[in-house]
Structures are given as C-alpha cells and as structure tokens.
Amino acid sequence: MYATVLFDKAGKIVDLETDELEVSTPNYDGASMPHFSGWPGSPAPNLTNHETEKVDGTSPPTDQAVAKEVADWKTKRDRADNYGMNAKNDWWKQMDAWESMFIGKTVDEVDAFYKAYTNDANGRPLNPQSKDAAELAKYNNMSAGDKQIVADVRSGATMSINDAHGYVLQAIHDAWNKKKPVVQPR
C-alpha cells in the first residue's frame, strides 16, 4: 500500500493517490491475481487452475518463472475491474471516493474523520442497518449532520481503509512523515 500525497503549506491534502500491490501464492484462485511462487530454489507450491479451481500441478520457482511472475505483477488500480473485490469489482472506485473525502483535510483531520464515521471493529463506514449493537449505538448517537456524512461516505465506499487489505491511513501518515518540499523552477 502506498500513498502519494501533495500537502499545502498548512498541511492540508491537496491531492492524494493511493494504490496497492497484492500478491498471492499460485494456489490462490483468480487469474488476475499477481502470484509469487517463492524465491528460486524454495519448495514448489501447488498451482491452481483458475477455471476449475482445482490443484493441477506445482509452480517451481525457477529464476525464469519468478522473473516472469514479478514482471507480470499489477497493482489493484492496474487490475481495475479485473480485481475481484466484490460483485461490482469496484476497488478503485471506492478508493477514489475515500481519497476525495480526504482532500482539504490534515492528517489529524483524516484520522478524526475515520474514527468518527467508521465501525470501530472492522473500519468500514458505519452501516445504519448493521446487526452489530456497538456500531448501531455509535450511529444512533450521531447528529443528523453526521448521519448525512455517513450516508455520503457509504454512497461512495463501503470498504475499510485500515485493515490487512490496505492500511491506507498508515500510508497517508508515511507520506506526511516523509514529505519533501516542492521546489519551484527558477
């Protein structure tokens, strides 16, 4: 997971682009998933036929095979609608929605926004139809204005941005902590 972030002098996000490279073993289903068989010389993992979803061999990690796997890796944005997150295959659309919500905010404001409008257990935007008592209590204690913000968030994104599928908040913090000044040409 990485974030390229442009901050203004006040520390507010002017532009934000995130992406992620997710790699699996060759026995994971999904033809578009980037695979990694292991370092050359390591034991050969099972190889799954993505059409039958059955193991039909092994994937020996030779120098050439591993080099080809790495050359074929694509990020979630590169995979676009081929990334099988859900029936809509809309990871990039949801990530675009999250990014747009953070424009104009400082890193601290991003953290506060995330804390206020997401489920404390799974990091997803609050769901007013949730069966989780803690999530419903958090939602029901909100003002009408905050409930509208939840509706706005959910209209663009329902995925978490702070879990093993993408630590976006950490990537934004890393961008802030590693920021460099933009130098104007003379």
Evaluate whether 47 touches 59 at the Cβ level (below 8 Å).
yes
Q: According to the model, what pLDDT value does residue 16 have?
A: 97
Evaluate whether 125 touches 150 at the Cβ level (below 8 Å).
yes
For residue 36, which phi and psi values (nearest 5 degrees)? -140, 115
Give the mean pLDDT of 136-144: 97
Residue 85 has pLDDT above 80, yes or no: no
Long-range contacts of 140-147 (CB under 8 A, 24+ apart): 146/116, 146/117
pTM of this prediction? 0.84
Strand (E) or helix (H) holding 16: strand 13-19
pLDDT digits (tens, 9 = 90+) for 20-73: 998 887 777 667 788 888 889 888 888 888 788 888 888 888 999 889 989 989
